[in-house]
Homo-oligomer: A and B are copies of this chain.
Amino acid sequence: MVSMEIILVSMETTSETTAPVSDLETHLGYCLRRVSNAVSGNFARALQAKRTSVAEWVLLRQLYDRRQATPGELADALTMTRGAVSKILDKVEAKSWIRRRVKPEDNRVQLLSLTAAGRRIVPELAKIADRNDDQFFACLDSDERQSLGRLLGKLATCHQIRDVPIE
């Protein structure tokens, strides 16, 4: 007991008032990031089969709903910069999955739309996405998955992480 006190006292003096440092795992943001990186990494690997990236998938999926969209709208929907979207568009255009057309009334804006090939690839990618999600979250039961979805939805709502409506 006496020696214990000595150790503690000496630690206190040498390690300049050890401030309380919370564990990494106590931060939900940290846990979220680890799990998110894992699932997105999985998904990215699965999409390789179609030579596609996660960002391309999300963009194509957005364009699948909206018949027409501009790069700026997609940037908002993806929470990405216009510059980043511009580059993704280059790639999917190179694969002939989208078409860029200039808006007649305003030559600054582009009207994007899926090509026939693009409309064909989206369901295939969706299948990969479904399978990936199913597998990754299989270790949660149905209630837990629903609960997780609800919590993420609540966070998304209160932080304005919103998909831009089709308008």
Does A153 belong to the interface (CB within 8 Å)? yes
The interface bits of chain A over 137-157 (1 if a CB of B lies within 8 angstroms of the residue's CB, else 0) are 101100011011101111110
Residue of B whose beta carbon sits closest to that of A43: B29
Interface on chain A toward B: helix, strand, loop, or mixed SS?
A: helix
Q: How many copies does the complex hold?
A: 2
9-residue interface stretch from A84-92, A101-109, A120-128: A120-128
Count how many chain A residues have C-beta atoms less than 8 Å from C-beta atoms of the other chain: 60
Asked, given contacts A151-B148, A158-B139, whether A30 binds B58 with beta carbons under 8 Å apart, the answer is yes
State whether the Cβ of A165 lies closer than 8 Å to any Cβ in chain B. Answer: no
If the complex has contacts A21-B122, A27-B129, A163-B24, are A32 and B154 also in contact, measured as CB distance less than 8 A? no
